[in-house]
Structure 1
Amino acid sequence: MAGTGRGPEEKLLSFQAFQSRCPPGARYGARDSWQRDFRRLRGITYLDHAGATLFAESLLKGFMDDLRENIYGNPHSQNISSKLTYDTIEHVRYRILQHFNTTAEDYTVIFTSGSTAALKLVAETFPWIPEGTKEPSSRFCYLTDSHTSVVGMRGITAVMNVLSVPVQPKDMLLLEKNKEPAKEQNCTTPHLFCYPAQSNFSGTKYPLSWIRKIQASELCPVRIPGKWFVLLDAAAFVSTSPLDLTVHTADFVAISFYKIFGFPTGLGALLVNNEIAPFLRKIYFGGGTAAAYLAGEDFYSPGQSIAERFEDGTVSFLDIIALKHGFDALERLTGGMENIKQHTFALAHYTYTVLSTLKYTNGAPVVHIYSDTDFSNPDVQGPIINFNVLDENGDIIGYSQVDKMASLYNIHVRTGCFCNTGACQQHLGISNEDIKRNLQAGHVCGDNIDIIDGRPTGSVRISFGYMSTFEDAQNFLKFIIATQLSKADIEFPSQPTPTKTVTESAESPIQNDQASCHNADVLSLKTIISDTGPWNNSSAMLKTTRWQPPETELERTRAAVFEWAVPVHSSSNKSFIVTNICLYPIKSCSAFEVTQWPVGNQGLLYDRNWMLVNQNGVCITQKQEPRLCLIHPSIDLKQKIMVIKAEGMDPITVPLEENLEKETQICQSKVCAHRVQTYDCGERIADWFSEFLGRQCHLIRQSSDFKGNATQKHVKGQAPSATISLSLVNEAQYLLINTTSILYLKEQIIARLEEPLETEQLIQRFRANIVINTVEPFEEEEWAEISIGALHFQVVGPCNRCQIICIDQQSGERNKEFLQSLSNVRGRKTHFGIYLMNQSSCSSSSNLLSVGSPVFPILKESTKIQCPPSNEEKASG
């Protein structure tokens, strides 16, 4: 363990010292006001502001007070309440233009459902000249470091027979270096270039000076005659930086307001320069956009104002009114966007400085940061840090594993490619062929397949917002050091020598000559580890390992990827014994252990037939409510009832036989994206659970009458056409674990906790249906099929564990050490246990599963390696 001394050279950079280095604007906000407006963040480190920032409670209060005090009608009507709505909306338009330092004389605000809709609107209405006409044709150019919504515009331009041209950031840099003077030309063919003001992947701020240079044909991404217009994707940029449209006069600006205020969502805007607006072509017209039209004749006259012509239907007027309160809260809490820019950059600069300095004692870096800048200038770098964590050998630790560990510390990050494939390819070195191969291997955007063939498919992103604090940055850095993401010491060098993470100048779209980070930014590892609170981890320092070359690609793959294979029908000549059988009548509640139990078509009879949902009908699990494990349901087959008990509560019973009366509420719900039909068990049961949990909830049961596709779910490991009947489990009918594997894991945990641990308590954490005992740990992962008595099962994959195993099933207390230990034991993956499915239809009256039954496995081949399943722990719910 690190020492606890706190000498000057080891003292953690204090909040006051950090603030003293910040520009005056970065020191906004009184602590008490922050606690009032963001009290729901207590204990949470939220670092996904580039995905969605958080709203202030004062914003909601002001908005709700407004709604309570006023009547807002449809703005297309002419009554008093409608006139109030119309006038308020126009006031908000002016407020938006004022925020961007412009006026209605120069720009028009067109409300959309978000920045994506704003970009799509430009693609649909821009005055393109297609190929094949007498005039020179238009071009649509876009920076490859763009959001999916920008790249997707090429689908519309393709239909319009307009060529799309992707432009690399490095190509723009070379063009700017070698720019040619603009030549006068008579050609007026309109071309459009779209680029992000700030990369949502790396936080790189692309020069706003490009706008005028492109418009003046001084910086042409394509050497072709015509007039260039600029569409600025400002969604990521304006969340933490000011945009002055009197200086940077883009023709179109796309924004989303939840990126700025956190609320409302589903509302954005397209800011259109009034000079280009008259040339936009509108084909469709909806309610409110027509000055006059005929239903029986092709006659239509558009609305007078630009906004009226393009805002189809009734705008989201209450959400627009909420924007006024968003601007009020932002000004009151921060003093303006320039202050937000300085504040968020100071946090990112500090975090980058420490993060890039972290090294293992063998000299290997702890992270690889994907950046085009050195974080020394807020004009070229936004408050986003994109990286992958490395082990002491330099191999990347998958982003899903980092995300899972971060969740144990209540740290919210973003992982993947962030809807920006171009930047992901650029920084991670992923080729076009790699993307296609990864798709064939089963990897799609948004899943958890993070390593394929030893190479990353994505990365980890943290981003700061206007309400982020120094403690957020500090908590994140402590997490990187204190968790067992790798098995080596971490140390700071005596002099800060950050590993080179900035792209070579020839490749970088942005260059910066300012000095690198100051020595005072460097933290002492010892102080971080020995700091008080949940970060004090006696096992955070392990033995130093020598720097060695990385393993071969095949060896890395074998270590990181579960080996799937086609079953072979050759017995292993081994038999084992079933030691425990458990079912979980109510999803995520306590186990009901039996010695013998009927097997039905969905697994063990009554296993996860019920679940608790919140007031919105969303399933509640131990991830949100650990106290569910203190609720003990049991099944009485003779009396045909389920008895539910909990400490301090009178027992309550639920009938096993469905008694669907006319007033029974039938409801649709989802379990792991699968649609299920359920019915409510009634107010009496709901009141019992609500009283115990201290929150409103209802008990619902899967309806046996619902036999459609909702219950016939596709299961991983099955052919796409195969459908299996499931109860309210997430993934498979059964989960099997091995006591020998448990004992092996127990030794590792005890060594780290340095305290005794009961085997039975550890078994309970893994919430299995079937527990067996073999000779070697993890033998079960080599099986393709198994027979238990007269029953035959197919193995459909490993269970990828989540934080539920950190919950003591007897007390409801959390201990993050369990998932961290499992990660270390399994080579940074968290597989434990295997999923089983019935090979054939079972009848609950003729098939029984019994403790003591022999288990006969059939081995699988061990040569075919495929990608691991991407879902979180499924059967443990």
Structure 2
Amino acid sequence: MESYWSEVCELGSLESFKESWPHYGFGVEQRELIQREFTRIKDITYLDHAGTTLFPESQVKRFYEDISRNVYGNPHSHNPSSRLTHDTVESVRYRILEHFNTSPEEYSVIFTASCTAALKLLADSFPWVSASGDHLGSLFCFLTDNHTSVVGIRGVTGPKGVKTVPVSPQEVEAKAKDFPVAVHSGHECSVPHLFCYPAQSNFSGRKYPLSYVKGVQSQQLYPACEHRGRWFVLLDAACFVGCSPLDLKQHPADFVPISFYKMFGFPTGLGALLVRNEAAELLKKGYFGGGTAAAYLAGEDYFVPRSNVANRFEDGTISFLDIISLHHGFDVLYKLTGNMVNIQLHTFGLARYTYMMLSCLQHNNGQPVARIYCDNEFEDASEQGAVLNFNLLDCLGRVVGYSQVDKMACLFNIHMRTGCFCNTGACQAYLSISNQEVKRNLQAGHVCGDNIDLVDGRPTGSVRISFGYMSTFEDCQSFLKFIINCFVEKPLRLDKERLARLRSVVPAEASASEELTTVPNGRTVSEAKDLNISPAPVSDALPIRGVLKTQKNREKARTLTNIFIYPVKSCAAFEVTEWPLGPQGLLFDRTWMVVNENGVCLSQKRETKLCLIHPHICLASSTLHLQASGMDPIALPLEAIDENPNLRKCQSKVCGDRVQAFDCGEKVSVWLSTFLGKPCRLIRQSSDFPRDMKMGQDKGVCPATLSLANEAQFLLINRASVALLLDHIANENDCADNNTSFDMIQLIHRFRANLVISGLEAFEEEDWSDVKIGGALFQVAGNCGRCQMIGINQASGTRTQEPLKSLSECRSGKVTFGVYLLHQPQRNSNAYPTLSVGSTVIADAKNTSK
């Protein structure tokens, strides 16, 4: 069929974008900036700056040179190296306050382990007054569009008898009109209350007015206008300060938690609580750690805190080298960008352009491609940050699950974030999820941070992209091409009226008036210029999404056609015609694993060359052989090595499970490191450290132990399912995937199954409950959810977008392929059967009757 990729090779030009938005860049070409400071993101479209931005290479080099030249000692000592540390840290404090246009006379900087730690510090030390009798006591109030770490303060206030008041964004100003300032007793006039709100929503990027700070402090806004007392404001600036300037002289919030990796990308694990000195004196300290005491007695309850606010609250030795690195963060940030206003305008322009184009994309039937969650039209950088939150829709208006979008994005090397972003309140509001639905979703198995993206067809979360100062116009193009390539029913259409309206509100100095003249395919001249789309004919042979499971395989019986063992996790398959089972699956399957120098598992997702390492097991000689092109073969013993005192124990993780293993020695480590071009080691699972299988336990699946396999003991795929997918790929194959061709065997290898059968019907295996292969009985534990790893050519190690792209298309967004099995041993028998190619396969269907 005809290709659609040629239609979207260019989504506008950089020159035309610069004409409409002159604030792009920082006086140099963005590509030059990337080549000089961010070489590691070559071929990556990084769009998760709200999660963490990226550090420039010169920042780390300067920091390295600094700590290489200077000796920094513990700041609690008084020797010269310690004084150097103390003075440098104090200089950094001043630098932070200067960045936010304030001074040590107005604010103090308390360093913490993170922004969340800063919030917890405030929760523990705020002078809460418990309600008693007729006295209301303190109020803990927060905007519902707040990060989990802010809402979590109620875990401290609740047991203290402090009332919690959630406030919706609509109530702050609207309800203020309904409540004149009430007259209360003198006692209540001194009661401290805390109102928390984000300067910028980490969900939608909406910027809340900084004027709320003084509005709440002066009791002109809800809920402060309803309750007398002393109102303090916590301004959560973590998401805001990465791309926007914050002036604390103009907006003097009492408490401002920040996270430095959101600003600089490095260091991680360092935050701060900026405390207005007027409010600092009210904070009460409970626990005291090293360095916080002016004096104390060990044998008597006597403690005097230090007078300096920072010294009083920074328990123990601060992370002084991380703090010192901030000097170089500020230096490089200003050198590369000039100031935060430049960053704000640059990133807002990219976000606005992406919003305009995404909101105007339509399927061939005129249905919108995306549902965008925002409160404005991206018209003003003071109201909207460089964040775009959305869900994609199919041509029938159904939501495409965010997990599916994320998996497809990985094929295009686009890095973004999905879920609810630790902001349940905003997620509920924008996605119209009721409290009852949240509880029902939990009962259905959905928890925060998992991949259950749809429950009963309704989304549990969304997709978020966000920009940083090193983001480029090409990043916008790559993202939009990805959306069009994977999720738009062709031919692409545009909402012309909307696009014209959005353009009309661009600032006059940043836009040029264009006459909108109709061109073929229902587009306008200006739209065609922006998208540079050359119309392509629509093939009548375009496959219909949602292929039904009705393609019959002509074979008369199901048989086992292939057996694959993967002795070393993520390395090449070892094919056999017969093989014994063991207590954890096929004998020696995924018994070994390659790890990096830090003991972290290496998979083909991180290192595709693993598939070029070919393991071979010789049961006769009891050896494992490893072979790879250009390398001499190497052999290792198969027998148990747990008792060998010369091999050290080590630990790693597989799918979140801790596994205990033994290092296989220096010789094989050198061999692997030489071939892969990076330090790595080979480890073997310890036989006395069982790993329990979790999959299916809530559905009655029998307990089982696992090797180093991800989910289950066995993975089975069906040749009839492979054939259906192969036909779809042949029909869809186009230049977007470099005309990659597949045959049956190549596609089978992509799915890395243990057992391959000749089925009667495509995807029938998903309806099975049990299956008997030869004399061995297996229970079906669940479907195998696929990811971008099936896009790795097992013969060359190269990445392709297929077959995940076609799998999603032909299965209406589902990306499951194959089923997990676990062996059901015969009762009163310790013997394990042997599987043989050619064995008959007999399956039992699930009992769906009620």
Using the size of structure 1 for normalisation, the TM-score is 0.89
Counterpart of 2:447 (choices 444, 449, 465) is: 444
Moved more, 806-815 or 231-240: 806-815
Once residues 317 and 123 of structure 1 are traced to their aligned partners in structure 2, the CA distance between those partners, rounded to angstroms, is: 24
Matched, 1:596 2:586: no
SS at match of 2:349: helix
* 2:520 matched residue in structure 1: none
CA apart distance, 1:712: 2.5
Q: Aligned letter for 1:699?
A: L
Report deviation, 1:722: 5.7
Decide whether the 8 Å contact of 2:171 with 2:222 is kept in 1: no
> Structure 1: how far apart are the matches of 2:840 and 2:191?
79
Which letter does structure 2 place at the counterpart of 1:748? H
Cα offset for 1:840?
2.8
CA displacement at 1:11 relative to structure 2: 7.6
Deviation string, structure 1 residues 501-521 (Cα, Å, up to 9, x no partner): xxxxxxxxxxx9989998879
Paired residues of 1:582 and 1:768 also in contact (CA < 8 A): yes
2:620 corresponding residue in structure 1:
638
* Pick aligned residue for 1:626 from 585, 608, 611: 608
Which letter maps to 1:625? E
**Shift in Å, 1:498:** 8.2
Partner SS for 1:700: strand
Any conservation in 2 of the 1:488–1:541 contact (CA below 8 Å)?
no
Q: 1:580 to 1:742 in 2, by over 3 A?
A: same
Q: Return closer, same or farther for 1:561/1:313 CA change in 2, 3 Å cut-off.
A: farther
Shift of 1:803: 1.3
What is the distance in 2 between the residues matched to 1:251 and 1:561? Answer: 60
Residues 600/803 of structure 1: CA separation in 2 closer, same or farther (3 Å cut): same
Taking the aligned partners of 1:728 and 1:635, their CA distance within structure 2 comes to 17
Alpha carbons 1:201, 1:417 under 8 Å: kept: yes
- For structure 2, list consecutive stretches of 5 or more residues without a partner in the other structure: 517-523, 550-555
Aligned to 1:60: 60
Unaligned stretches of 5+ residues in structure 1 = 501-511, 532-536, 547-555, 563-573, 865-877
Task: Please say if 1:191 is aligned against 2:193.
Answer: yes
Take 1:92 and 1:539, find their aligned partners in 2: how far apart are those partners?
61
Where 2:603 maps in the other structure, the secondary structure is coil
Output one character per residue of 1:118-163: Cα deviation in whole Å (capped at 9) or x when no partner.
1111111111110116754111100000000011001100011100
Contact 1:491/1:525 (8 A) holds in 2 = no
Counterparts of 1:234-633 in structure 2, within 5 Å, are 234-483=237-486, 485-497=487-499, 524=527, 576-633=558-615
Mapped to 2, the partners of 1:663 and 1:518 lie a distance apart of: 74
Give the corresponding residue for 1:568.
none
> Would you say 1:833 and 2:833 are equivalent positions?
no
Alignment equivalent of 2:723, drawn from 743, 746, 765: 743
Shift in Å at residue 583 of structure 1? Answer: 0.6
Of residues 834, 845, 849, the one that matches 1:848 is 834
Aligned equivalent of 1:139? 139
**1:753 has 2:755 as partner:** no
- Report the CA distance shift for 1:513/1:120 in structure 2 as closer, same or farther (over 3 A): farther
Judged with a 3 Å threshold, the aligned counterparts in structure 2 of structure 1 residues 774 and 721 are, in CA distance, closer, same or farther, namely closer
Q: Match of 2:217, as an amino acid?
A: Q
Is the 8 Å Cα contact of residues 54 and 261 (structure 1) preserved in structure 2? yes
Paired with 1:325 and 1:430, the residues of 2 have a C-alpha distance of 44
CA distance in 2, matches of 1:209, 1:101: 16
* Cα distance change on mapping 1:623 and 1:539 into 2, 3 Å: farther
Q: Is the 8 A contact 2:181 2:227 kept in 1?
A: no
Q: CA contact under 8 A between 1:45 and 1:472: conserved in structure 2?
A: yes
CA–CA distance in 2 between the matches of 1:628 and 1:529?
40
Query: Do residues 21 (structure 1) and 24 (structure 2) align?
Result: no
Question: Cα offset for 1:652?
Answer: 1.0
Residues 381 and 846 of structure 1: CA distance in aligned 2, closer, same or farther (over 3 Å): closer
SS at the partner of 2:658?
Answer: strand
Q: Secondary structure at the match of 1:279?
A: coil
| Cα pair distance change 1:732/1:83, threshold 3 Å | same
In the TM superposition, residue 65 of structure 1 has moved relative to its aligned partner by 0.6
- Which of 765, 780, 792 pairs up with 2:750? 765
Kept in 2, the 8 Å contact 1:92–1:321? The answer is: yes
Segment of structure 1 superposing worse, 199-208 or 806-815: 806-815
1:333 & 1:84 partners in 2: Cα distance?
28
> C-alpha distance in 1, partners of 2:6/2:295?
79
> Partner of 2:241: helix, strand, or coil?
helix
Distance 2:99 2:700 in 1: 52
Answer whether contact 2:255 2:276 (CA < 8 A) is retained: yes
Secondary structure at the counterpart of residue 340 of structure 1: helix
Q: Once the two structures are superposed, what CA deviation does each residue of 1:98-121 show, in whole Å capped at 9, x if it has no partner?
A: 000000000000111111111111
Q: How many Å apart are 1:662 and its aligned residue?
A: 1.9
1:775 partner letter: L
Tell me how far apart the structure 2 counterparts of residues 92 and 721 of structure 1 sit (CA, whole Å). Answer: 57
Farther-moved stretch of structure 1 (513-522 vs 680-689): 513-522
2:553 alignment partner in structure 1 = none
Name 1:100's counterpart in structure 2: 100
Letter in 2 for 1:851: V
1:174-209: CA deviations, max 9, x gaps? 135667579798412111100000000000000000
**Residues of 1 paired with 2:529 and 2:751: CA distance?**
34
Instruction: Report matched runs for 1:659-808 at 5 Å.
Output: 659=641, 660-707=643-690, 711-717=691-697, 723-753=703-733, 757-808=742-793
**1:553 corresponds to which residue?**
none
Preserved CA contact (<8 Å) 1:120 1:153: yes
Please give the alpha-carbon distance, in whole angstroms, between the structure 2 residues aligned to 1:784 and 1:469.
Answer: 50
Partner-residue secondary structure (3-state), 2:228? coil
CA gap 1:24/1:391 in 2 versus in 1, 3 angstroms = closer
Deviation of 1:694 after TM superposition, in Å, equals 1.4
8 Å Cα contact 2:143/2:166 also seen in 1: yes
Q: Secondary structure at the match of 1:701?
A: strand
In 2, Cα distance between equivalents of 1:863 and 1:309: 67
Q: Which moved more, 1:514-523 or 1:94-103?
A: 514-523
Contact 2:294–2:306, Cα closer than 8 Å, also in 1: yes
Q: CA-to-partner distance for each residue in 1:450-489, whole Å, 9 max, x for gaps?
A: 1111100000000001111111111111111122x25443
CA contact (8 A) 1:353 1:517 kept: no
Query: Aligned residues, how many?
Result: 820
What CA distance in whole angstroms lies between the structure 1 residues aligned with 2:743 and 2:541? 28
Amino acid corresponding to residue 723 of structure 2 in structure 1? L
Structure 1 residue 716: Cα displacement: 2.8
- Aligned residues with identical type, % of pairs: 54
- Over residues 821-866 of structure 1, what are the superposed CA-to-partner deviations in whole Å (9 max), with x where a residue is unaligned? 01111111111100000123798864101111111111103468xx
TM-score, with structure 2 as normaliser: 0.91
CA distance in 2, matches of 1:20, 1:825: 42
Tell me: CA distance 1:858–1:527, structure 2 relative to 1, closer, same or farther (3 Å). Answer: farther
Instruction: Please state how far the C-alpha of 1:753 moved relative to its aligned partner.
Output: 1.8
Distance 1:6 1:403, change over 3 A: closer
Shift of 1:229: 1.0
- Between stretches 22-31 and 619-628, larger displacement belongs to 22-31
Over 3 Å counting, the alpha-carbon distance change for 1:266 and 1:662 in structure 2 is same
Question: Do the aligned residues in 1 keep the contact of 2:567 with 2:592 (CA within 8 Å)?
Answer: yes
1:215 equivalenced with 2:195 (yes/no): no
d(CA) in 2 for partners of 1:442 and 1:184? 48
Taking the aligned partners of 2:22 and 2:488, their CA distance within structure 1 comes to: 36
Q: Any conservation in 2 of the 1:718–1:796 contact (CA below 8 Å)?
A: no
RMSD across aligned positions (CA): 3.0
